Copies of this chain bind each other. A is one copy, B any other.
């Protein structure tokens, strides 16, 4: 079958002929209709681990059921979150890492859900109750940012989103953000909670905007720059400020139930994946370049024939 594999020349991907996956007993075989590209995958492609193939977010058709009897039947459409190798004609997926799709949810929209949606859902769980609380969300124009804005606003938060420019923040107001600003310096604190994904110099700036005993959930480092924290400088900031490192993989349970929640919310019209780039998978290398160049708002989705 055809699959996208790391292209050493330019740090993107190229087509290769690879063996069809052989599903384990608790895995279904999915004919992939669409997949999405995540920032973490673009990082990994710069220095790909040996044998690794990208692809954590897919949607498609079950063409072989799991041998152990778990999961969906042949012919059902699913969204799935395999550990990798999903940018291919076929992917094997554990039945506890997928959700069945209702008819009205198309494959490109569904493919935009897993990693970004799981991250947003679990970040809000880590945030605790947000109704009536003031939230600051940095790096808000990506896939996670759009989901977070919509879910947090629906839960009653008053959310300030930070995006690089007005165009990248357009949809966030529609999804429920109370305001969109274009730098942390332009945000008016204090905030009860900061959701931070840029690292570098922006994180300390955002930290300084916390209310006393406020918390910053740190879920990414899009700037690629580590963070420098000075104890003495923080003494002039909010008292008892907390930085909590967040990984979307911090869950005690499999992904299935959370994927089903994301599917349900989308089907009910409560969650609106923002497909900022939708293209044919032959153009995946170009999509990766656009994502790296911060030219994509929301999710980057590629479709197969």
The interface of chain A, by Cβ under 8 A from chain B, is 126, 199, 212-213, 218, 220-221, 226-235, 237, 239-247, 249-250
Cα separation A34 to B245 with both chains bound (whole Å): 44
A218 near B231 with CB under 8 A, answer yes
Which residues of chain B are within 8 angstroms of A247 by Cβ–Cβ distance? 235, 239-240
Q: How far is the CA of A17 from the CA of B190 in the complex (A)?
A: 45
Enumerate 21 A-B pairs (CB-CB under 8 Å) in ascending A order. Answer: A126-B240, A199-B231, A213-B250, A221-B230, A221-B232, A226-B229, A226-B230, A226-B231, A227-B229, A227-B231, A229-B243, A235-B247, A239-B245, A239-B247, A239-B249, A240-B245, A241-B244, A242-B242, A242-B244, A242-B245, A243-B244
The interface residues of chain B lying within 8 Å CB-to-CB of A240 are 126, 244-247, 250
Q: How far is the CB of A109 from chain B (nearest CB, A)?
A: 29
What CA separation (Å) do A138 and B220 show in the bound complex? Answer: 28
Residues from chain B with a CB closer than 8 A to the CB of A233 are: 226
Say whether A241 contacts B231, CB under 8 Å: no
- Closest B residue to A212 by beta carbon equals B250
A274 → B minimal CB distance (Å): 24
